[in-house]
Amino acid sequence: MKNVFLSASIPLPERHPKYYETGDVIAIRDAVIALSTLMIPNFRIIWGGHPSITPLINYVIEQKLKANLERIDKWDKLTEEEKFQLELKLKSNIQEHVVLYQSLFFKDKFIDDINKFENVKFTENTGDIHSSIQHMRMRMFNEYDYSAAIFIGGMDGIEVEFNMFREFHPNALLLPVASTGAASKIVYENFLPKEFLNDRLLKDYGYVSMFQKLLIDKI
């Protein structure tokens, strides 16, 4: 199964204004949902669970499970135990396509959605926020081979992860979605190698078709 790294967040007003002022919250949410919807059937999406992004991916998982259950023939004729076991199996199959990393530095601030994921990798609290997050990033980039990385919205962490990802996975596809604004726009305009530049990343808000063309068809 091919792995795709997601670096994304919704910018906070108390952080640097260069992120918040250009961040498009609706576009960020639409892009994350579109990406997750396309990834989960056939690929694995891996991310460091920012609390503004994890609920969106969980929403996609719940919708996919619901759709799969609705397609089952003679559902009403199954026993409660059969329904339970079938739902458990379908849920497990979907969960194979998502891996969530969380630093234990934020243990007291974990959101409830984390408990809805089967594949959560907790990383060490190294004593301060910066080293703890950096340790989590090192594990994310070391523990998987990636075919691509997607950058959506975000703040300074996007810029850090973009540079780290390039170092660890120099041959992977890079797609900073500049239309979502914030750090992804900065990365696109200032750091993205020329071979990855594409007007659709700047102007296209039809994220399902965009990711199909620029990501799914290329990996």
Going from N- to C-terminal start, the domains of the chain cover: 3-210
| Alpha-carbon gap, residue 173 to 188, rounded angstroms | 13
CATH of domain 3-210: 3.40.50.450
| Displacement of CA 39 from its chain's centroid (Å) | 10
Number of other residues whose CB lies within 10 A of the CB of residue 92? 10
- The per-residue pLDDT for range 25-59, each reduced to its tens digit, is 999 999 999 999 999 888 999 999 888 999 999 99
- The per-residue pLDDT for range 162-215, each reduced to its tens digit, is 999 999 999 999 999 999 999 999 999 999 999 999 999 999 999 999 999 999
DSSP state of 74: T
Q: What are phi and psi of 207, to 5 degrees?
A: -70, -30
DSSP state of 15: S
pTM above 0.85, yes or no: yes
